[in-house]
Amino acid sequence: MKLTVPTMLTLLRILMIPVLAAVFYLPYGWTNFAAAAVFALASLTDWLDGWIARRYGQYSAFGAFLDPVADKLMVSTALFLIVQGHPTAWMALWAAVIVGREIAVSALREWMAELGQRARVAVATVGKIKTIAQMVALLCLLYAINPPGRVPHPVPWMGTAIFHVGDWLLAIAALLTLWSGFEYLRAAWPSLRAGRAVPAEIAGLVDDGASPVDSGRDGSKIAGSARE
């Protein structure tokens, strides 16, 4: 299998996960900037590999698999770091909602694939808004939260303000996550209830901000993430 630039960017995003964890726990005053920068760079590669895939038509089933895996690993790791750095009940709840929903929807998509109904995935507006709110929230919280043993934030009032912005955005993202998950389940319900494939126009699935998918016998296409 030939690795193209989009695929290498996705692999780079996966390799940045342990870098994010290591930087987050460094005991220096500048590590809050560094942790946020690593996450921002990972988010940039997510946009960039999608743009390259669309621009040059570099779609593949491997890219369709790898891109969402990389996204979920990065987001889950960031959430775990945030909860460990700020272990409150609300923070843990929002993280559990987001991660739990991702697991449930991934399982649902696999089941729908068994029924032959994973062929068409439309990006819902709520999914796009949720993704933006979630990424900005994680960026703010990675910057604002100091884990045990780290030097206090160099600008306390700025860290507090950014923390509150991230906290509210994460709550909004969690609620939108539940909403988009419900929409996905509602769209998939006819096939789940029948236990067999139903017409694609009836079972149009809703993803959480991922790119449109058109998978057929002749290959898999994901606008923005699938490539070889």
Give me the domains of the chain, ranges plus CATH numbers: 5-222 (1.20.120)
For residue range 47-82, what is the model confidence (pLDDT) as tens digits? 898 888 888 887 777 877 888 899 999 999 999 999
| Cα separation, 72 vs 37, whole angstroms | 18
For residue range 111-156, what is the model confidence (pLDDT) as tens digits? 776 666 554 445 567 878 888 999 999 999 999 998 877 777 666 6
The band of 109, judged by pLDDT with boundaries at 50, 70 and 90, is confident
For residue range 8-50, what is the model confidence (pLDDT) as tens digits? 899 999 999 999 999 999 988 889 899 999 999 999 998 898 8
Supply the pTM of this predicted model: 0.79
